[in-house]
Structure 1
Amino acid sequence: MASLGPFGGPLGSRIARLRRARAGSRLDQTLYFFSIYVVPVLIAASTIVVLLLLPREYESAGSGTLPFRALDDKTSALTPAAALEALKKAPTVSHFSTRLSETPIWFTLNAPVASTRVSTLIEFPSRHAQTLECWTAPALQPLGQASRYGVSGQMRTVKAGFAVSLRIPAAPTPMLCRGTFSGPAQLTVQAWDAGQLRNSALDFQESSGLIAGGLLTLAVFVFVTAMINREWTYVIFAMWLVGNLRLCANAMGWDAEWLDRVIPPADLPLLRKVTFAAYYLLTGALFSQLFRRELRVVGCRWLLRVAQNVGLVLLALSIPLSYAHFIPALWVLGGFGIGVLIFLLARLLWKARSRTVMWYAASLAVVLLATFSEVLGAAFGVRQLAAGVSPVLAALTSSMMAAFAIAEQMRAEREHRRQAQIELRNTYEVTPIGLFTLDSRGRFVRANPALRAMLGMQKSDYGLRHWNDYFEPGAWGSLQALSLKGRESEIEIGGSEARGTAERRYLLKAISSNDWIEGSLQDVTERSKAIERLRFLAEHDPLTGSLNRRGLEKAIVAQSENAALWALAYIDLDRFKLINDLFGHRAGDEVLKQVADRVLARFHGNFSFGRMGGDEFVCVMNDTPIDEAAGICTRLLAELNETPYQVGSRAFQVKASIGLVECSHGVRVQDALSHADRACREAKESRQHGLVVYRKGAAAFEQRAAELRLVESFGRNRLPTGLFLVMQPIMSLTSPTESLNFEVLLRMRGADGKVVSPDKIIAAAEESGNIAALDMWVVSTTLDWIETNLASLPKTRFICVNLNGGSLNDERFTEEVFALFMQYRPILRYLCLEITESVALHDLGNTQRFINRVHDLGAKIALDDFGAGYTSFRYLKSLSADALKIDGEFVRSMCSHPADVAIVEALVALAHNLGMRSVAEWVEDLDTLKALHEIGVDYVQGYVVARPQDCSAILTADSAASFIADPAVASFIESLPEPRETIGAES
């Protein structure tokens, strides 16, 4: 076999391929350099050489501008002969401005002999000329007529205006012409020979074709590019280029054509007006879009908004106004808009100084100099300004400069996006949150360093490792479902047992994008553990580890919904507070933990057990008949009560009481706990066995159910029906037959017709949170009753009304009640508000302020149940009350207990020394009445005088003493002297 040589076989083939690849690469680089650098430079250089050195195709030697005489026929009544005569006095000029006049213009001139071989043509190069008619002078031989609709005779249409052919004259020819114009026309007359004018016309057509083709091509290219890329700013730029083309066409005089089609002359004025207004709006819109970011920096955006609104006004005026009237409006409003743009461009150049602003400023300068030069020249009569710059050059230059501005803006935006991409990539790399991208099969496409460190992944694993390789089973399905929900959704997933991360927890967010899934991953293991701990603490007691009140309530709800019959045990430790007080809370806490351990040891695991708070525990005994539950609780009591609790070197003996209730399906949590608590309190009071059992249907259940129904009748912001008032007389011991004072008491008639006791009404109102509303009803009803029946109460000096403590400390109630007092101020002198001693001393400052406001309005204050508290004498001096109502417990038993007599006597003396009146409650027999009279009590209230009366009975009574039914009591009252009453005096 022949040798392959040193470069034969596979190695030689590989080297050959490398050489061909390198050769191909060098060729590509050469062609790239040639196309990017060499060819553009050659084209630019050759273009400059051609423009500078080579002659134009349609070169003309130029024309001669002729002097002429002109006048404006304001009356439109001159004949050719009369006009010729009048023109003899007109000055000779080289140009004549019509000043927007649309009346006939007469002018005369001498047409020279341009050439002895070809015809002489006299051109009237005005695009604003509408009609032209010429004669020879002085013979007035017609030469022809011309208009935008056609020509006749020796007239013809040339470029933007008209021309008269004089064939080959032998001598200069005098001429008389009459023309009409629209817009800011500048009349000039030029003489040509036929050949030169033809070249000039061809040059004119070539220029118009160049500008039209160039700008339209550029506009179409920009528009298509903008639509494909959805860049709406460049759509505006494309339309602006078309507007620039039309303005250039107007300046050159060929705007009567569009895409080689002739526009009807009648439509030209409207088209021109709309073109000017639309170009104004497009310029403002393009400016606003190009420099939207820069304008936020330099400010004055409101000024641009004003200029844009001016453009809308200009567009609206273009429809109704004639061309002659529209042009002045264009000068004024357009000038304002241009001034605004110049001002903003100056601010942009000063502050932003970007190349985009510079190019756009140059483009706008060219537009202002060229496109509007004729308008401004006509407005101010400056001929040099009107014909200073080539429209073709100006249009192309301004469009190219605007294109440069757009290109610069594109470059700046591309650079901005590139910087944003770099920042995003850097952020992607350094963010501490794991970021990833997966393909449609669940394999990793990329991941940031944080995710790779979190999962122990390498870059080489891209495309190989699946999502399920790192997470719990089913993680891929969970991720797919999450990616379809939206950006705000998130889930928590676990790690993989195979990778030893099963205990880890991850927070996952993901979205679906272009068949890929992109998302973020955070390791939230510690947070999850903390949340689980918080969830545990939310339903468990941190001391004993058992359920807390919330956990117990959830257990009761679950049991009530699922079980037909079950039991609830309420456990309370007796005199547990002594352990805390004598030996500290550590000892008490240890006892509580041991109690919980004993209960849990006695109850099997299916029971829900927890601590309600303090030394109270509850056990939900699932699916347990009441008899079986009672047996368990009996054994539990023995376990709790008989065995001491060892805490350090001390042993504590603790007794417990249990209330056990039988519960059924659907029982409410608050009802079950209330019944069990009631049974437990009964067990504590009985002290027999320490256990009280309530079976289904027991009287205690019915009683509590009635209480709960009463509470429910006090709904949210409403009071129950059936409320009414009764009044109990308060008799004066100094003038019993000359006064009729009483206390207003609350009653309620239930649905069964029975009267509910006031204690239950008050308790239900307090439990429902509507005690303030109830007190407001009592006060307002009482005041309304007093106002209605005041004439029937001549002997009444005060009417007592009780206020609950919850109402007195309710700021909303106090404001509402004082507003009510202002409505009834004339009768407030009869009102005496009773405040219990304990409530008054709860917030002494608030109470004193309340009393002062009541006194300022003329009402009175009485301290109710005085003597029942512990600190009355210490704080009494701070309360400026009008009366003390002595607690009835002292009064009722004073005849059988001499100590009570001494207490009552001391309280009466204290009241008198402080300038207050004394009122004894619960006076029920004659002996007590006599004792109170001897002590010196001012008023008495109780059954010895009268029970609570209907309101109508008060109105028919003569005095409080008239209610006494006992003859002995009546005889005693009659024996008393009748001095004048003082507590209710108007003073």
Structure 2
Amino acid sequence: MASATLFSLSRYRHTGSWLDRALYLFSVYVIPFVIAIGTIATLFLLPRQYESTGSITLPMHVFDERGTGLGPADALKKLQNAPSTTRFSTQLSESPIWFSFTAPATGKAHPTLVEFPSRHALTLSCWKASTMQPLGHADRQGTSGEMRAIKAGFSVFLGYLTENVPLVCRGTFSGPAQVTALGWDSVHLRNSALDFQESSGLIGGGLLTLAVFVFVTAMINREWTYVIFAVWLVGNLRLCANAMGWDTQWLDREIPPDWMPLLRQVTFAGYYLLTGALFSQLFRRELRVVGYLWLLRAGQYVGLLLLALAMVLPYGYFIPALWGLGGFGMAVLIFLLARLVWMARSRTVLWYVASLGIVLFATFSEVLGAAFGLKLLFGGVNTVMAALSSSMMAAFAIAEQMRAEREHRRQAQTELRNTYEVTPIGLFTLDSEGHFVRANPALRAMLDLHKAEYKVRHWNDYFEAGAWGSLQALASKGSDGELEMGGATARGTGERRYLLKAIESNGWIEGSLQDVTERSKAIERLRFLAEHDPLTGSLNRRGVEKAIAAESEETLPWALAYIDLDRFKLVNDLFGHRSGDEVLKQVASRTRAHFKRDYPVGRIGGDEFVCVMSDTSIDDAIAQCHELISILSDAPYQVGNRAFQVKASIGLVECSRGVRVQDALSHADRACREAKKVAHTHLVTYRKGAAAFEERAEELKLVETLGRNCLPPGLFLVMQPIMSLSAPTESLNFEVLLRMRAPDGTTLPAGKVIVAAEESGNIAAIDRWVMTTLLAWIEKNQESLPNTQFICVNLSGGSLNDEQFMEDIFALFAQHPSIVHYLCLEITESVALHDLENTQRFISRVHDMGGKIALDDFGAGYTSFKYLKALSADALKIDGEFVRTMCAHPADIAIVEAIVALARNLGMRSVAEWVEDADTLRALQEIGVDYVQGYLIAKPQESAAILAASSAASFVKDPEVVNIIECLSEPDQALTYGYEWRAKMGTH
């Protein structure tokens, strides 16, 4: 309270006079305190306005008429033998009840009246026992004679009695009625009736006022839980009215008696459901913690059953169902409330527990009193105070929850405001015209925006033209889209790039802004490097292939020039790669400058360039290429204080629409190789119909031959050794390669055979032949291969995706279970990623049968590292393009080193292909490659040579390589050798 007082004073410190502050404190603290103290003193010290004392409980003789109807005289005779009692319970019986009693004399001061206070009484008739004079009849429709309707039941007026008068009465009751007779004088009964009316008015007015207040508050704040609470308060009011006996009226209007049974039943069932709904809504978060939600659901289903029974059962049968089902619901609530108090222990829970506790206590008292006549065990519960107290405590619970939620919202707003202020991303709100409403410090710093400029600065002031329209279009899409836009040139931010997200909210636009200039530059750089050579800025192989593919779709004439520098390797060898790189830059620059037209120029190898001469006739292309040769060959290349003379050779191919990219490049490469042999021109041109194209025709003929669904004659296998760098003289591993003899006796390259077979669709048959032949050979010569750990064999992509082929292969493996462990099946990266799930199943099945898997040509694709973790291969075969040129290009060394480290970390072996010189072998050993394969070790061998050898090192003839192998075989020498090699290469 002290903190609240200080806060209140601070509010008025600068906004009002001392009189305002004094009146505020007087109204907020003094007056409420005085009212509270006065109310408590009045309740405890002052007498009630209408004292309802003075009644006499009259002993009665009672019996339940079950059978034929009796007259008053017959009933009186039967009552003389009935036992005497002051309270008789009908036990839900609706048979007529006869009872007799003696009304006391009150003298001549006040008339005597007898009250029958039962809200369950339906009819009542009384007679004087001595004369059988009828005194009148009463029911819920009206009264006659001396009978009156009073409070919840009826009364009979006896006048001024000077002596006691015996009476006999007959009544009918519905429900769990308690029959009693109270003797009064007229004054005290009138006070009791007034007290009854005052109590009903107090509870009715109080609860209705509270319910209306809560309902209005709920509707204004859109808090639907409090709507339930408001309706629950009305239910509480109706239950209290039922207990007191004045539920036959509503808002001072009498409810027809015929409606009452159904109305009471629906009220009981509805109150049950409302209590469960309010409970589950108020404690929805806490109930997830305490558990037993299934028990709460069971209680709610019981409530629905109770509502259904209320619609169909008569009142006498519904009440026992209410006691049973309602008792189950009360038990569920008591159990869950106990767990809530034990586990949650919040003030909301405690208030609500107190409220429901009072309701349950009062209800339980009524049930026990009605069912067993045990109401006196509780000393008589004041129904008005119970209803008001439970409602007020429930209101306290609601108020406490509202306070907690308001505090939670306040904390959330504070956290949101703090987050808004410290978020490093720019946050903003714009009005419908595009002016700033608010911006966080990050955005203000980003745009150099000041708070004073909010109303005068427009979005377009800080961004490129059309920025406001783009922002509106983005905001209309919702929260899914994003947009990148540039800054404003006028403000000096034209080179900046911003990433924007925005949504529409209440007529405003709210969003976030990030400065992504550096990221955009990096992305542009990556996009450039994806298709360009980082050294020369020309297209790389991928860019060249893309340009050729695009040109092959055009109908205009075009040509492809393949440029190679003669003896360029000497520049690198004699003066280093830095000088060589500078020469390459100048070659690319001269080439691009010569072709003034927009020809794509690219570098696809160490010193190999390609130019796509679009919309150019072959004769024009020949003239331009002669000029280019002069430009590249005549003028020296100045690098520092040195000048280099480099000659260029060009292979030129006339291309037509629909040519394949690889065909065009291979033809141009072949023409360039011929040009390097022709010293006087350095230019070789293939026009349409040239011999190269004839050779292509021969390849197509081979495709046709292989497409006859039968194995072509002349197939045979050769084997290329794979040497271990850790134990070169102790293992004999090799790769099986396919060859084919042509009818003229020449051996066709395997590449041509494979390509033709794939194009013909007969590759699966050839792969099946290779696998069958190899397994038969291994089984036959297994004893001659003691040092062989694995034998590599390639599988083509077409076969891997042929389900019948795969079933045949695994059936073949099942026939040779003892030798499958020798097999290491090679699949290329592009084939493996074509259908990743199929490849994973294939690898798993091969492993289950004891075989191994190697990924061939690894690094040639673009997605290897992304999917490698999904392929449980045993070995990686590094693409030979990296290995062949690694000593000439540091980038290739870095790539190979990364692949080797990746393989080692993934538990795979690494194999380097195309090892053709000793320097490359030394570099691979230093990097840590496990196995090497290439012409430096051995060319492909006949099977007899393999069987005659003891290791892969047996095939090495070069003395330098032999010396390297000897060093590798001895660890100490290998270590010394590694130091010497690093010193030679100038690395650390």
Q: Please, what TM-score do these two structures have when normalized by structure 1?
A: 0.69
Pick aligned residue for 1:317 from 300, 309, 312: 309
1:319 is paired with a residue whose SS is helix
1:627 is paired with a residue whose SS is helix
CA contact (8 A) 1:569 1:661 kept: no
Return the offset for 1:252: 0.8
Say which is worse superposed, 290-299 or 251-260, in terms of deviation.
Answer: 290-299
Q: Does 1:377 align with 2:366?
A: no
Letter paired with 1:156: R
Mapped partners of 2:714, 2:462: distance in 1: 86
Return the offset for 1:285: 1.6
What's the counterpart of residue 10 of structure 2? none
What's the counterpart of residue 651 of structure 2? 658
What's the counterpart of residue 500 of structure 2? 508
CA contact (8 A) 1:248 1:395 kept: yes
Return the offset for 1:140: 4.3
Letter paired with 1:807: L
What's the counterpart of residue 201 of structure 1? 193
* Residues 609-634 of structure 1: CA deviation (Å, up to 9, x unaligned): 11234554321223322211122123
CA contact (8 A) 2:126 2:136 kept: yes
What's the counterpart of residue 807 of structure 1? 795
What's the counterpart of residue 356 of structure 2? 364
Letter paired with 1:724: N
Say which is worse superposed, 213-222 or 552-561, in terms of deviation.
Answer: 552-561
Say which is worse superposed, 582-591 or 678-687, in terms of deviation.
Answer: 582-591
Sort the Cα spacing of 1:852 and 1:292 in 2 relative to 1 into closer, same or farther, 3 A. Answer: closer
CA contact (8 A) 2:792 2:823 kept: no
Sort the Cα spacing of 1:574 and 1:136 in 2 relative to 1 into closer, same or farther, 3 A. Answer: farther
Mapped partners of 2:698, 2:168: distance in 1: 121
What's the counterpart of residue 98 of structure 1? 90
Return the offset for 1:474: 4.0
Sort the Cα spacing of 1:122 and 1:706 in 2 relative to 1 into closer, same or farther, 3 A. Answer: farther
Mapped partners of 1:453, 1:478: distance in 2: 23
Letter paired with 1:444: F
CA contact (8 A) 1:775 1:807 kept: yes
* Residues 444-473 of structure 1: CA deviation (Å, up to 9, x unaligned): 343332233333344444434444444444
Letter paired with 1:503: E
What's the counterpart of residue 897 of structure 2? none
Q: Does 1:617 align with 2:602?
A: no
What's the counterpart of residue 667 of structure 2? 678
2:220 is paired with a residue whose SS is helix
Pick aligned residue for 1:724 from 705, 709, 713: 709
CA contact (8 A) 1:110 1:174 kept: yes
Letter paired with 1:63: S
2:149 is paired with a residue whose SS is strand
Sort the Cα spacing of 1:602 and 1:841 in 2 relative to 1 into closer, same or farther, 3 A. Answer: closer
Letter paired with 1:539: E
Letter paired with 2:654: V
Sort the Cα spacing of 1:585 and 1:805 in 2 relative to 1 into closer, same or farther, 3 A. Answer: farther
What's the counterpart of residue 381 of structure 2? 389
CA contact (8 A) 1:552 1:608 kept: yes
Overall identity of the aligned pairs, in %:
63
Letter paired with 1:292: R
What's the counterpart of residue 739 of structure 1? none
Compute the RMSD of aligned alpha carbons: 4.9
Return the offset for 1:22: 8.7
Return the offset for 1:304: 2.7
What's the counterpart of residue 929 of structure 1? none
What's the counterpart of residue 628 of structure 2? 636
CA contact (8 A) 2:559 2:652 kept: no
1:235 is paired with a residue whose SS is helix
* Residues 745-802 of structure 1: CA deviation (Å, up to 9, x unaligned): 99xxxxxxxxxx999885245369994488579999xxxxxxxxxxxxxxxxxxxxxx
Mapped partners of 1:42, 1:120: distance in 2: 44
Letter paired with 2:795: S
Letter paired with 1:509: K
Pick aligned residue for 2:221 from 229, 243, 251: 229
* Residues 286-313 of structure 1: CA deviation (Å, up to 9, x unaligned): 1222222333444444433332233223
Mapped partners of 1:541, 1:913: distance in 2: 44
What's the counterpart of residue 871 of structure 2? none
* Residues 162-183 of structure 1: CA deviation (Å, up to 9, x unaligned): 2222233443222233333222
Q: How does 1:178-327 map to 2 (within 5 A)?
A: 178-327=170-319
CA contact (8 A) 2:795 2:826 kept: no
Return the offset for 1:419: 1.3
Return the offset for 1:244: 0.6
* Residues 530-551 of structure 1: CA deviation (Å, up to 9, x unaligned): 2222222122111221112343
Mapped partners of 1:138, 1:770: distance in 2: 126
Return the offset for 1:341: 2.4
* Residues 202-239 of structure 1: CA deviation (Å, up to 9, x unaligned): 33223222222222222122212211221111111111
Return the offset for 1:388: 1.8
Sort the Cα spacing of 1:612 and 1:729 in 2 relative to 1 into closer, same or farther, 3 A. Answer: closer
Structure 2, unpaired ranges of 5+: 1-12, 716-738, 741-748, 773-790, 829-842, 852-940, 951-988
What's the counterpart of residue 872 of structure 1? none
Return the offset for 1:590: 5.3
What's the counterpart of residue 485 of structure 1? 477
What's the counterpart of residue 152 of structure 2? 160
Mapped partners of 1:169, 1:230: distance in 2: 63
Mapped partners of 2:459, 2:380: distance in 1: 74
What's the counterpart of residue 795 of structure 1? none
Sort the Cα spacing of 1:136 and 1:522 in 2 relative to 1 into closer, same or farther, 3 A. Answer: same
CA contact (8 A) 2:560 2:664 kept: no
Letter paired with 2:272: Y
Mapped partners of 1:267, 1:709: distance in 2: 102
Q: How does 1:776-795 map to 2 (within 5 A)?
A: none
1:146 is paired with a residue whose SS is strand
Mapped partners of 1:659, 1:36: distance in 2: 100
CA contact (8 A) 1:504 1:523 kept: yes
Sort the Cα spacing of 1:526 and 1:851 in 2 relative to 1 into closer, same or farther, 3 A. Answer: closer
Return the offset for 1:816: 6.1
Sort the Cα spacing of 1:392 and 1:626 in 2 relative to 1 into closer, same or farther, 3 A. Answer: same
Mapped partners of 1:906, 1:529: distance in 2: 55
Mapped partners of 1:264, 1:706: distance in 2: 109
Mapped partners of 2:204, 2:114: distance in 1: 28
Sort the Cα spacing of 1:550 and 1:177 in 2 relative to 1 into closer, same or farther, 3 A. Answer: farther
Return the offset for 1:377: 2.7
CA contact (8 A) 1:76 1:103 kept: no
Mapped partners of 1:151, 1:447: distance in 2: 79
What's the counterpart of residue 926 of structure 1? none
Return the offset for 1:57: 4.4
Structure 1, unpaired ranges of 5+: 1-20, 714-719, 731-744, 747-756, 781-802, 855-904, 915-987
Mapped partners of 1:357, 1:841: distance in 2: 67
CA contact (8 A) 1:630 1:660 kept: no
Return the offset for 1:703: 8.3
2:604 is paired with a residue whose SS is strand
CA contact (8 A) 1:645 1:654 kept: no
CA contact (8 A) 1:574 1:684 kept: no
CA contact (8 A) 2:795 2:825 kept: no
1:724 is paired with a residue whose SS is coil
1:483 is paired with a residue whose SS is helix
CA contact (8 A) 1:68 1:108 kept: yes
Q: How does 1:701-740 map to 2 (within 5 A)?
A: 723-725=708-710
CA contact (8 A) 1:661 1:679 kept: no
Return the offset for 1:79: 5.7
2:560 is paired with a residue whose SS is strand
Q: Does 1:335 align with 2:324?
A: no
* Residues 688-741 of structure 1: CA deviation (Å, up to 9, x unaligned): 565454556879679869989999x9xxxxxx99853379799xxxxxxxxxxx
Q: How does 1:865-876 map to 2 (within 5 A)?
A: none
Pick aligned residue for 1:432 from 421, 424, 428: 424
1:162 is paired with a residue whose SS is strand
Mapped partners of 2:667, 2:322: distance in 1: 94
Letter paired with 1:253: G
